[in-house]
Structure 1
């Protein structure tokens, strides 16, 4: 258990260092632009990933703060702290890039995950037949980074009912539910980050996405071990 937790912690530290380096590079103009120094377009994978992952991360931060107050188990509280701290920092970087690119954090007619199908920078003009969407998903920071609606929550995101259950649970029940929800959340996050690592044109953002993949995969291993210790297992 301790060896696995150390490995996961090391992966998180590397992800944070990746992110800090990426932000410095962006701020200095060294690698903040897209391919050939171009600013990413409104509906490019770079911008879409930044908007969607900011929403995705915000829910992870919120769930981590909830479980911190619902259990006294130090292992779960430490994991929750690491996830909240890391993903809050990364979220700030993603939103900061959108500011640097002069792009909005909310695009009202952009369905969640639509950037996954664009493949390359779609530029600032048309973006296909996007239908409108409704409410911001549970866990999104209203007015900062909107995405899914009409029930179309991004991969791995918890539902409103699941978040209510987490907030009402305590002790071992809260620990198990949090670990299961965060396992699903990380699996969805890894898929999104892998998409950016393949498709995003901004070198710094691709590096951050790859760091997310590695850190969250390590945490998935850790959480599977923690669930086993509690007589449970990931869902599905």
Structure 2
């Protein structure tokens, strides 16, 4: 056996021993506490908040990525281009995580029959927790599937705009988009049961709130303001 093969064999053997000791130690502690083996993680159901948030936020994020690429191509302002790149990169990565979890849980990427977007956010009246969602009055109209999402007409205007006009429209549309996304993420942070998804949702709240403050400043610098 070559020296390299010997080193690999020793490394694998050493790793196996270390893992065995780790598991044995954990089992010993659990046994001493009377806990027994740790239960397997529970897989969320298709109607759960975990699955609903993953489905809806993946769609929500996709539009943010689309809008960010649109404005990047029609402005030369470095601050707007940098913001658009950051939003597109971050939300594309997060979207991949959300869809990956649905694959891992073997759940569909569309809502179960009879359940539309946001059905995982029931309020105390048995409806949808949308009374505090920004832009709810336009939800479902002209392609706006969820609160904060731009309509088809608004996306067409963004495609046609150039320069500062495009910058202002993008910042206003993305402000609406972030407001809807923040409310959705807060709902998951309180309703979801998968720890890693709850942490991602809370991270979205914090990051998008920071970007909302930045976009308000950028709009003010252009003599504009958020739409509401």
Work out whether the TM-score is over 0.5: yes
Counterpart of 1:39 (choices 43, 68, 85) is: 43
Matches within 5 A, 1:67-216: 67-107=71-111, 108-117=113-122, 153-216=145-208
Do the aligned partners of 2:140 and 2:146 also contact (CA within 8 Å) in 1? Answer: no
Structure 2: any 5+ residue segments left out of the alignment?
Answer: 1-38, 129-138
2:172–2:226 CA contact under 8 A, matched in 1: yes
Query: Hey, what's the Cα distance between the residues in 2 that align with 1:80 and 1:159?
Result: 19
TM-score by length of 1: 0.71
- TM (norm. structure 2) is 0.73
Tell me the residue number matched to 1:139: none
Q: Does structure 2 conserve the Cα–Cα contact (< 8 Å) formed by 1:70 and 1:169?
A: yes
Does 1:228 find its partner at 2:197?
Answer: no
Q: Where does residue 67 of structure 2 map in the other structure?
A: 63
Match of 2:147, SS state, is coil
SS of 2:121's equivalent? helix
Cα contact 1:45–1:118 (8 A) shared by 2:
no
Describe the shift of the 1:74–1:150 C-alpha distance in structure 2 as closer, same or farther (beyond 3 A): closer
**CA root-mean-square deviation:** 2.2
Shift in Å, 1:37:
2.0
- SS of the equivalent of 1:117 reads coil
Moved >6 Å (runs of 4+): none
SS in structure 1 at match of 2:87: helix
Unaligned runs of 5+ in 1: 1-34, 120-127, 131-147
* Cα distance in 2 between the residues matched to 1:182 and 1:67: 11
Residues 49 and 115 in structure 1, CA contact (< 8 A), matched pair in contact too: yes
Distance 1:201 1:161, change over 3 A: same
Q: Distance in 2 between matches of 1:212 and 1:111?
A: 23
> Deviation per CA, 1:140-175, whole angstroms, max 9, x where unpaired?
xxxxxxxx8576621100000000000000000000
Query: Of the two structures, which has the highest relative contact order with CA contacts closer than 8 Å and spacing of 6 or more?
Result: 1
Q: Tell me by how many angstroms 1:39 deviates.
A: 0.4
Q: Taking structure 1 as reference, are residues 95 and 118 closer, same or farther at Cα in structure 2, changes over 3 Å only?
A: farther
How many positions carry a matched residue from both structures? 177
Following the alignment from structure 1 to structure 2, what is the Cα–Cα distance between the partners of residues 118 and 41?
19
Instruction: Give the whole-Å Cα distance in 2 for the aligned partners of 1:60 and 1:198.
Output: 24
SS at match of 1:102: coil
Question: Where does residue 8 of structure 1 map in the other structure?
Answer: none
Q: Comparing 150-159 with 39-48, which one deviates more in the overlay?
A: 150-159
